[in-house]
Amino acid sequence: MKHRTLMGITSNTARGLVVMLIGFVGLAGTGWAESKEIVSSLTLEETVDAALRENPQLRSMRAKWEAMTERPVQERTLPNPMLQYSAMDMIKDGNWPDTQEKRVMVLQEFPWFGKLGLRGKVATKEAEAIQREYEAMQREVIMMVKESYFDLYGVQRTIAITRAEEDVLKRMEQVAETRLATGQTPEQDVLKAQAEITMLKQKLLEFEQQENALKAKLNQLVNRRADSPLGLAVTEPQQGFDTGTEQLFSLAEQNRPEIKGAQAQIERNQAERELMKKAFFPDYRLGVEYRNVGVDFSNFSRGDDMLMFTVGLDLPIWRTKYNAGVREADKMIESSQAGLEAVEKQTSFDVQDASFKLLTARRTFDLYKLSLIPQAEARFEASEAGYRTGKVEFLDLLESERFLLNARVMAAMAEGNVGMQLARLERAVGTDLKPSTIPQGESK
């Protein structure tokens, strides 16, 4: 015989968001049924999209990256030419500006061949390094969103299970009262059932506190007030695929932003070294000057027009400084190469650790779902039937009910943990993982 019970209705006046959980709970047969929600659903995809769009740290880093992309064109551009005007006259009879000589000069500085291109390359690689930092922050935010989402998923399922369990305990109380009325059981059985219901309500308060904290965390990640309403997490964790670490290592080498960033830093330092080597060559300046000599403004007589070309060179005589610059660039290359090696080793550890934890989480969930819960249900059914016939004490029935509740709660939390561990694996490899992207087969 199955009974339907309204499990819970909550509302928030800020948006009128209604979250309603409806479940079916039976005491005969299995005694349990999956909860079914009628809610404003909160999907994982829309939550991640909102975080990528609204997270303030991500917006700040993106603006910094976009600002850095404007640097290369500045570095590749020649410095502004200089326009110079001068006039000259004798000190004794000078009457400025009615001087006898006028000069107008335009002077342009040119870096040595290849310097501008190398400066632009250095700036381009610096911008790419910032881009990889932005992508790494993206992956970090995505991981935090998914972790909080699936943690919330597990807690909300646990709340639904706990609320349904209260109905089961009330039916157990009714059975005990019926047997008490016929003198088949002592009053203590009824009191024990009532005390168990009170303890269950206390557990429910703890779970609701966890739910509130997780919603506040998700709101923070999507740049909303902590008390903004959120619906029921309805996206289930991905199931049905195994992880092959060799293929995951390959994915991480191709996609991990930290590896790409370290590679960009090496290329940046290499371009810096080439630029330092070119510091031994002089920059040069080319100019053209127009000069008019002998002009007389008193009688408007025009003087002689002359045109002069000028060439100037830097004198890079402080070679000790330039040698030090080359040695500095060499050490920066050595440092960035060691940094790349460290990132690669950290990535391999992250992939190995996350893939094994995901495998363990999936096996744990399967153990609860396929073995522990069926065993607990069978035990509860046997205890209930025995109590009705007087063959089992109420404490045994209560213990079997607690065991089944704990098994279901552990299964709900384990299912959420599968999603959390998958999020950490995706962070380790630097990309979203679908069943089609994760190889089939046993984990190595």
The domain locations on the chain are 2-77+111-281+316-429, 78-110+282-315
DSSP 8-state class, residue 301: B
Taking the C-alpha atoms of residue 70 and residue 67, their distance in angstroms, rounded to an integer, is 6
pLDDT at 83: 94
How are beta strands 304-313 and 284-293 bridged, if at all? Answer: antiparallel
pLDDT at 259: 96
Cβ neighbours, 10 Å, residue 264: 21
The 10 Å CB-count burial string (b at 16+, else e) for 330-347 is eebbeebeebbeebbeeb
Q: Domain 2-77+111-281+316-429, what fold?
A: Outer membrane efflux proteins (OEP) (1.20.1600)
Residue closest to 170 by CA, chosen among 27, 335, 2 = 27
Contact present, 241 and 438 (Cβ < 8 Å): yes
Taking the C-alpha atoms of residue 167 and residue 102, their distance in angstroms, rounded to an integer, is 103
**Whole-model pTM?**
0.81
Mean pLDDT for back-to-back runs of 10 residues, the chain (444 residues): 33 30 31 38 92 95 96 94 82 60 89 95 96 96 97 95 87 79 77 86 93 96 92 87 80 95 96 95 92 63 78 91 95 97 96 93 95 94 86 86 93 96 95 66 40
Taking the C-alpha atoms of residue 333 and residue 264, their distance in angstroms, rounded to an integer, is 11
pLDDT at 270: 96
What secondary structure, in 3-state letters, does 328-347 show?
HHHHHHHHHHHHHHHHHHHH
Q: How far is CA 54 from the centre of its chain?
A: 12
pLDDT at 37: 37
Q: What is the identity of the amino acid at 117?
A: G
- Omega of the bond prior to 97 within 30 degrees of 0, cis? yes
Q: What is the identity of the amino acid at 197?
A: I
Contact present, 425 and 433 (Cβ < 8 Å): yes
List of long-range contacts for 435-438, beta carbons under 8 Å, 24+ apart? 435/238, 435/240, 435/241, 437/251, 438/241, 438/242, 438/243, 438/244, 438/247, 438/248
Residue closest to 139 by CA, chosen among 129, 147, 150, 151 = 147
Sign of CA dihedral 341, 344, 350, 355: negative
pLDDT at 295: 57
CA angle 62, 68, 70 (to 5 degrees): 115
Cβ neighbours, 10 Å, residue 136: 19
